[in-house]
Amino acid sequence: MVPLGAAALSAPERDGRYGSMGAVPTVARWWSSRTDPQRIDLYTRSSYYSTLVLVPVLLFFAVSSDWATSAAWPPLVLLGSSVVTTAACLVLTRRGFRDRTAGPDRSALLVAVLAGLVTVLAALAATGEGPAPAAPWVAGLVSGAVLLALSVTVPTRPLVAGAAVAGVLAGAVAFAEGNPPGAAVAVGASIGVAVGFCVTAFRFSVWILDVVLEMERSRGAQAQLAVAEERLRFARDLHDVMGRNLSAIAVKSQLAAELVRRGRDGAAEELADISRVAEESLREVRDVVRGYRRTDLPGELAGARSVLRAAGVGVTVTGEAEAVALPEPVQAALGWVVREAVTNVLRHSRASWCSIELRAVGGEAELRVANDGVRGAGTAWGNGLTGLAERLAAGGGRLSAGPDGDRFVLAASVPVGVPA
């Protein structure tokens, strides 16, 4: 519904007036359309990039108080070299996220280390006369930035060792500035612990990302394995049916041909048996295909509970007693609804819980599947839901699917006695 005040405005005027307000829902819809692995990946990358970009800013404030007593060139060199260090670290990070099995880029690492050393030397030159606590922290920031970029691909132990080296470097810089040995050791230890904690925390976030991505790949492999197992089951059933009957047909055909050739009686009976076996084979093949295509509602409900729990989705199922009492065609129709709903929950949502409710109301059986993996509003139906709706509509049933508050609900109703 268009607001009353906006009804008198033209479309361009309304767009100009409310366009900025529409940006927030657009971002929210974009964010909600991302999968959990995509969100974690985006969060991890943005955390790395934003932290590295802050390094030149922090260095600027760290030494700004010392510029009045220093020459003009050290601050400029410090800022320039810190920008180069940050750029090299960003390249290291980006290439690390692109391929975490290839190891760090050596060229970018060399540039980052050399530019970092120049930054530390410039900080020493920019401190002017007397001890200045900024230079050790500059060394810590630069070392931390390089270790942060390396943490995408380097294991934790080398990073902890690197943090210890950063602490030693910061302590040496503090001592070179004229600080007492005890104070230099304290500064170095503080910086080493801070760098080690930050780098380890970022490394842990990369490990979480790797685990989530591996789980997503395992989930896809599990789905492919389930499809392969179902195909194998169908092939095995078909082989069991056709292998025996075709062998019988071949033997009886040879026997009938031999009887005809010798002019003996019994060929007609053998041909009749061949016809009977062929008809039996056709019936059994139809039974196999029917068992492959049709669904059993109690079995589908039990399978849905098992599959969803295996995928880490909490599930509640109610109405299993009603499922057993429903006619077979109704069970088959609603069984397809359960199968499609569970498939959509696993493939197209980020649900943490799912409820399946079945009840018989009047002359209809109603099935309602709800989950908290709601996506952006207005999502179009896929081929599965469209085909399912057409299947139910052919027998007088109904299907609806869409967001309902903070849930996504799929509801189906089938008249008792509808053909599957």
Question: What residue ranges do the domains of the chain occupy?
Answer: 10-217, 223-293, 297-415
Q: Which two tokens stand for residue 226?
A: 């389930």
Residue 129's Cβ-side half-sphere holds a number of Cα atoms within 13 Å equal to: 1
DSSP string of 131-181, one letter each residue: --THHHHHHHHHHHHHHHHHTTTS-HHHHHHHHHHHHHHHHHHHHHTT--H
Q: Three-class SS of residue 74?
A: helix
Q: How far apart are the C-alpha atoms of 234 and 75, rounded to whole Å?
A: 75
Q: Which two tokens stand for residue 171?
A: 């302590």
Structural domain 223-293, CATH architecture: Up-down Bundle (1.20)
- Burial class for 415, CB neighbours closer than 10 Å (0-12, 13-18, 19+): middle
Written as six digits, the tokens of 96 are 């690390």
User: Contact at 8 Å (CB) between 6 and 17?
Assistant: yes
Tokens 């985006």 sit on residue: 42
Q: 122: closest CA among 109, 135, 132? A: 135
Choices 3.40.718.10, 3.30.750.24, 3.40.1260.10, 3.30.565.10: CATH for 297-415: 3.30.565.10
DSSP 381: P
3-state SS assignment for residue 372 = coil
What are the structure tokens assigned to 95, written together?
A: 């290439």
Radius of gyration of the chain (CA): 35
Sheet holding 353-361, edge to edge: 314-318, 353-361, 364-371, 407-415, 398-404
Give dist(CA 207, CA 104) in Å, integer. 16
What does each of the 420 residues of the chain score in pLDDT, given as a tens digit? 444 444 444 444 444 444 445 556 687 777 777 777 888 888 999 999 999 999 888 877 766 665 555 556 777 788 888 899 999 999 999 988 888 777 788 888 899 899 988 888 887 776 554 445 578 888 888 999 999 999 998 888 999 999 999 889 888 888 887 788 888 899 889 999 999 999 999 999 999 988 888 888 887 777 777 777 777 777 777 776 676 677 777 777 888 888 888 888 878 887 887 888 788 788 878 777 766 555 678 888 887 887 777 667 889 999 888 888 888 888 888 888 888 888 788 777 778 899 999 998 888 999 999 998 776 544 555 667 887 888 888 878 999 988 888 889 999 999 986 544
Q: What is the DSSP letter of 129?
A: S
- Compute the distance between CA of residue 225 and CA of residue 206 in angstroms, rounded to an integer: 28
Q: Which two tokens stand for residue 231?
A: 């195909």
Q: What's the pTM?
A: 0.56
